[in-house]
Amino acid sequence: MPRTGEGFVEAVLAVVGDIPPGRVMTYGDVAATLGSRGARAVGQVMARYGGSVPWWRVIRAGGRPPAGKGDVARPHYEAEGVPLRPVDDEDGYRIDLAVCRWNG
């Protein structure tokens, strides 16, 4: 059942906070856990209220870090042992979802 209103924000923060270290979830996975498909809506919540949760554990479906936060998130992954994969783009790396994907 789709959680809408304030409950949506709380639900997103709860799911993100439930992700253990060394694991990550995609925006779509978080939305699916809430019973919704609003991956973008999840991104909005992260952008506004993600400051109180491990936002770096929420990444895009392609294994790429949050837009514009790649450089800030990278140290967190290395500190938690998240398997990264070097690529030649802006972020310079990619996350191995096949290994560290967490199903909430």
Partner DNA sequence: ATCCTGACGATAG
Partner DNA sequence: GCTATCGCCAGGA
Report the interface residues with DNA, using CB under 7 A: 2-6, 8-9, 26-28, 31, 36-44, 46-47, 50-51, 55-56, 58, 60-62, 66-69, 87, 89
Least Å from the CB of residue 45 to DNA: 8
CA distance 26 to 31: 9
CB 22 within 8 A of CB 104: no
Q: Which is nearer to DNA, 72 or 81 (CB)?
A: 72
Pairing verdict, β 93-95 and 84-86: antiparallel
Distances in whole angstroms, Cα of residue 72 to Cα of each of 41, 46, 75, 86, 91: 22, 15, 7, 16, 10
Least Å from the CB of residue 81 to DNA: 20
Q: Which is nearer to DNA, 67 or 79 (CB)?
A: 67
Q: Which is nearer to DNA, 26 or 33 (CB)?
A: 26
**The tokens 């979830």 sit on which residue?**
25
Q: Which is nearer to DNA, 22 or 44 (CB)?
A: 44
